[in-house]
């Protein structure tokens, strides 16, 4: 029961943050992190923070940060059932999200 309450609380925080980011920067792009996880498991290089996130998060909402060449992505994840839920706020280079950036297609 405590896990369900914790997840609901963090999910609410994530939803509130996403609403504020959408107001500021428009609709987010949803990025599936499965291909990054597969690439990393197959020994392919995966750029950070995508390598770390893909091991804990299934997908994330991404907002480009203007003309900076960077993106912002809050996400809720958990590395394992026994480990705590984590509300991430990641920033990365836009080029890391380009197809083929980690050798994945």
**Can you tell me whether residue 32 is helix, strand or coil?**
strand
Residue 99: predicted pLDDT: 62
Q: How far apart are CA 96 and CA 17, in angstroms?
A: 23
Chain mean pLDDT for the chain: 90
**How does residue 82 score in pLDDT terms, banded at 50, 70 and 90?**
confident
Instruction: Please state the pTM of the whole predicted model.
Output: 0.84
Integer angstrom CA distances of residue 86 from 9, 40, 70, 73, 83: 11, 21, 22, 13, 9
Residue 105: predicted pLDDT: 41
- Percent of the chain past pLDDT 90, that is, above it, reads 74
Q: Work out the average pLDDT over 23-28.
A: 94
**Can you tell me whether residue 82 is helix, strand or coil?**
coil
């Amino acid at each position: 029961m405590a896990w369900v309450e914790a997840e609901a609380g963090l999910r609410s925080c994530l939803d509130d943050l996403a609403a504020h980011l959408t107001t500021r920067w428009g609709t987010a792009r949803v990025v599936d992190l499965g291909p990054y996880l597969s690439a990393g498991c197959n020994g392919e290089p995966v750029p950070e923070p995508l390598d770390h996130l893909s091991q804990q998060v299934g997908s994330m909402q991404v907002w480009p940060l203007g003309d900076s060449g960077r993106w912002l992505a809050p996400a809720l994840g958990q590395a394992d059932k026994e480990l705590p839920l984590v509300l991430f706020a990641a920033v990365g280079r836009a080029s890391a999200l380009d197809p083929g950036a980690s050798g994945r297609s």
